[in-house]
Amino acid sequence: MKGRKRITFGVVIFPGTNCDRDTYHAVEALGYRARYLWHVARGIPQDVQCVILPGGFSYGDYLRAGAIAKFARIMDAVTEFADRGGLVLGICNGFQILVESGLLPGALLQNVNLRFICEHVYILPQRFDTPFTCAIPEGRPLRIPIAHIQGRYTYGSQKEKTCALFCYCDRNGNITGDANPNGSEDNIAGIVAPGRLNVAGMMPHPERAAEIVLGSNDGAWIFRSVERWLS
């Protein structure tokens, strides 16, 4: 399953980002090209086809996770890239930055059990017509780890603007209350906005489950989907 098409992913680094190297590694291990994008950059390089906002603690998560990062200079370029139809994926802290910046609806609040949760969970894709899920076999739950304390998704007043992309489920794909690790509304683990499928956010870390040596390579499906979408 080595990369057939040489897609280039851009991995954004804010002060406090800490999943940038994992993401870069996963992208390269899957056979694609990766390059880092620094938070003060004024533009997205021409060759970048998908921008990833990786996990971490940008700006120390001060005030609210993602609240300060949304004002970083590169976010203007990311917004413009998204407006032109460019693919943008926010993972964990990246998802928090996307909802704070208004590129995605809703908000991510403190987990209902008030704890940092770091464990493998199962998530079920809810739609297969997006750049991030189009290659995933239907009906198959993905085993991917989460690692967050602020991951409880709420629609706020924006339910009609939200489409579930992934929901927490059990190993058989049943979306139940018991399978919901953090109290997210409707078990939401990842979303897209209707009419704007090129921007997605997810709390689970696909880059930490992209090689079998890490215990699961289900996360690779997200990167494979991007490849299929762009082919």
Partner 1 sequence: MKFFKVRVIVMPREGLLDPQGKTVEQSLKKLGFKGLSDVRMGKVISLKMAAENRSKVEDAVKDMCRKLLANPVTEDYFIEID
The question of whether 92 is a catalytic residue gets the answer: yes
**Catalytic member of 19, 92, 163, 167:** 92
In the numeric block, the tokens 């970083």 are attached to 72
CB 87 within 8 A of CB 229: yes
Map the footprint of partner 1 across residues 3-62, applying CB under 8 A. Answer: none
Q: How far is the CB of 158 from partner 1 (least distance, A)?
A: 6
Q: How far is the CB of 205 from partner 1 (least distance, A)?
A: 23
Return all residues near 159 (Cβ < 8 A) that are at least 6 apart.
none
Nearer to partner 1, 6 or 73 (CB): 73
Nearer to partner 1, 30 or 109 (CB): 109
Map the footprint of partner 1 across residues 176-215, applying CB under 8 A. Answer: 183
The SS3 call for residue 60 is: helix
Nearer to partner 1, 182 or 217 (CB): 182
Q: How far is the CB of 110 from partner 1 (least distance, A)?
A: 6
In the numeric block, the tokens 């993972």 are attached to 91
The question of whether 207 is a catalytic residue gets the answer: yes
Query: Is 93 among the residues that bind partner 1 (CB under 8 A)?
Result: no
> Across 58-106, where does the E strand assignment appear?
87-91
Cα-based torsion angle of the residue sequence 115, 119, 122, 127 in order, rounded to the nearest 10 degrees: 70
Query: Is 64 among the residues that bind partner 1 (CB under 8 A)?
Result: yes
Cα–Cα distance for residue pair 208/193, rounded to 1 Å: 25
Which pair of structure tokens corresponds to residue 129?
A: 């017509």
Cα–Cα distance for residue pair 161/163, rounded to 1 Å: 7
Cα–Cα distance for residue pair 139/5, rounded to 1 Å: 26
Nearer to partner 1, 154 or 225 (CB): 154
Which pair of structure tokens corresponds to residue 182?
A: 């953090």
**Catalytic member of 19, 134, 163, 205:** 205
Map the footprint of partner 1 across residues 98-127, applying CB under 8 A. Answer: 99-100, 105-107, 109-114
Q: How far is the CB of 152 from partner 1 (least distance, A)?
A: 8
Contacting residues toward partner 1, per CB under 8 A? 63-64, 67-68, 71, 99-100, 105-107, 109-114, 154, 156-158, 183
Active site residues: 92, 205, 207
